Amino acid sequence: MSAGTKRMAPKTIGTHDGSFHCDEALGCFLLHQTKAYADATIVRSRDPEVLSGCDVVIDVGATYEPEKNRFDHHQRGFEEVFGHGFVTKLSSAGLVYKHFGREIVANVLGLDEKDEKVEKVYLKMYKAFVEAVDAVDNGVNMYDTDAPAKYENNTGLSARVGKLNPPWDEPTSAEIYMSGFHKAVALTGAEFVAATKYYGESWLKAREHVVSALDDAVKTHESGEILKLPCYCPWKEHLFELERERGTDPLPKYALFEDDKGQWRIQAIPLTPTAFENRKPLPAAWRGVRDAALDEVTGIEGGVFVHAAGFIGGNKTFEGALAMAAKALEMD
C-alpha cells in the first residue's frame, strides 16, 4: 500500500444479539450476496451506539428507513409488504430481499440484472422461499382457521434455524451464539442458493416447453384442448400464468408427456396449479383399469393404466395417448 493511501475499514452488518431467528440469518446472507456488503463483517448487538456505526442494520433498531439502510420490522405501525400482489408483512429477510433481491438473484445466476429471467425468478423466489420466512417470523398462520393442527411440522427452515440456538439448559455466551448464528447464515444461504438455481436454471426452462405446447395445441388436436409436452417438467404454474396472459380459449383439458420409460402419460389439467380437482377427469369407466382390460374398455391399443382418481393415465405410445385423450374429451 503506497504512502498516503488509506485502508478502507470493512463494512459492517448490524443485527441483534442473543437468540437468533431465520429472518436475520437469511437477511445477513442476502446482504453478503450484494456488491456493497459482500465482505461486510456481522456485528451482533442491541447497543444503539454500536449499531449506529454499522453500515446496514437489520432486525433491530425499531426503524425502517431504506435510505439509511435500516431494516427493522418490529416497531408499532410497521405494515410493509413485498407488493406484486403479496400481502404478508415483511420480516428483515423480506425487507432485504425487496430492496436488494434483483441484484442478489442476478448474482447467484450469473446474469445481468436487466435480463428478463431475473425478474421472473425474483418474484418466484419471494413466493416460493422468502414469504414463508416472513410469515413464520411475523406469526402469520398458513390457514384461516382456529381448528387445531392435524400434525406438527418441525422440519421447516425457520424451525431448523431455531435449533441452532444453544439449548435452554446449556451454557451460553456471545461466542456460542455467534457460532450458531454463522451456522444459521450458512444454512439459510445454502438453501436460498439451491432454490434460486433450481428456479432460474430448471423451473424457468420448463416454460419454453409450455409455450410451445400452447402454440401447437391445434396441431396436436383440432380441439386445441390437448397439449403435447416433450417430457415431464414442472408445467402447471407456467400454464396457468400463460393462460392468464394470453386469454386462452378454450382451456386445455389434458397434457401429454413422455415418461422416463418411453411411454406416454395423459394428465388431466387441474383447476389450479395445486388443486386435486380437474377441469375434466379421465372417464369414470376407465378408472382403476390396466393393460389389456384398459384396451378393451377404451377401444384403444397400448393402454397401461388409468388412476382410480381419474387424474392421470398412460399408454405405450404417443398415438395411443392422444387417442385416449381425444376420446375422453367426448365422454362424461
Examine the domain organization and report whether 275 and 243 are in the same domain: yes
pLDDT score recorded for residue 39: 96
Is residue 6 scored above 70 in pLDDT?
Answer: no
Examine the domain organization and report whether 185 and 227 are in the same domain: no
List the 70-71 sheet strands across, edge first: 41-44, 12-15, 56-58, 70-71, 64-65
The pLDDT of 258-263, averaged and rounded, is 94
Q: Per-residue pLDDT tens for 51-94?
A: 999 999 999 999 999 999 999 999 999 999 999 999 999 999 99
Examine the domain organization and report whether 256 and 113 are in the same domain: no
Q: Per-residue pLDDT tens for 194-249?
A: 999 999 999 999 999 999 999 999 999 999 999 999 999 999 999 999 999 999 89
Indicate whether 211 belongs to any domain. Answer: no
pLDDT score recorded for residue 147: 81
pLDDT score recorded for residue 1: 47
Chain centre to alpha carbon of residue 79: 23
Taking the C-alpha atoms of residue 51 and residue 296, their distance in angstroms, rounded to an integer, is 75
Element (H, E) at 312: strand 312-315
Q: Are 134 and 91 in contact (CB under 8 A)?
A: yes
Indicate whether 57 belongs to any domain. Answer: yes
Residue after which a domain boundary falls, among 203, 234, 257: 203
311 conformational bin, left if phi > 0, alpha if psi -120 to 50, beta if neither: alpha
User: Which residues are CB-contacts of 173 (< 8 A; sequence separation ≥ 6)?
Assistant: none
Output b/e per residue, 102-111; b: 16+ Cβ within 10 A: bbbbbbbbee
Indicate whether 112 belongs to any domain. Answer: yes
Instruction: Quickly state the pLDDT bin for 7 (edges 50, 70, 90).
Output: low
Examine the domain organization and report whether 197 and 93 are in the same domain: yes
Domain count across the chain? 2
Indicate whether 150 belongs to any domain. Answer: no
Examine the domain organization and report whether 50 and 172 are in the same domain: yes
Indicate whether 7 belongs to any domain. Answer: no
Examine the domain organization and report whether 167 and 260 are in the same domain: no
Examine the domain organization and report whether 73 and 193 are in the same domain: yes
Indicate whether 6 belongs to any domain. Answer: no
Q: Per-residue pLDDT tens for 139-195?
A: 998 888 878 888 888 999 999 999 999 999 999 999 999 999 999 999 999 999 999
The DSSP letter of residue 265 is E
Instruction: Quickly state the pLDDT bin for 9 (edges 50, 70, 90).
Output: confident
Indicate whether 81 belongs to any domain. Answer: yes
Examine the domain organization and report whether 132 and 25 are in the same domain: yes
Q: Per-residue pLDDT tens for 33-49?
A: 999 999 999 999 999 99
Element (H, E) at 255: strand 254-258
pLDDT score recorded for residue 143: 83
Q: What pTM was estimated for this model as a whole?
A: 0.88
Indicate whether 151 belongs to any domain. Answer: no
Examine the domain organization and report whether 178 and 252 are in the same domain: no
Q: Per-residue pLDDT tens for 270-284?
A: 999 999 999 999 999
**The domain containing residue 245 runs over which residues?**
216-329
Examine the domain organization and report whether 173 and 73 are in the same domain: yes
The pLDDT of 126-130, averaged and rounded, is 98
Examine the domain organization and report whether 236 and 166 are in the same domain: no
Instruction: Specify the range with the lowest mean pLDDT, choosing from 2-11, 12-21, 102-111.
Output: 2-11
Amino acid present at 304? V
Chain centre to alpha carbon of residue 101: 14
Q: Are 171 and 14 in contact (CB under 8 A)?
A: no
Q: Are 246 and 252 in contact (CB under 8 A)?
A: no
pLDDT score recorded for residue 150: 83
Examine the domain organization and report whether 53 and 180 are in the same domain: yes
Q: Are 43 and 12 in contact (CB under 8 A)?
A: yes
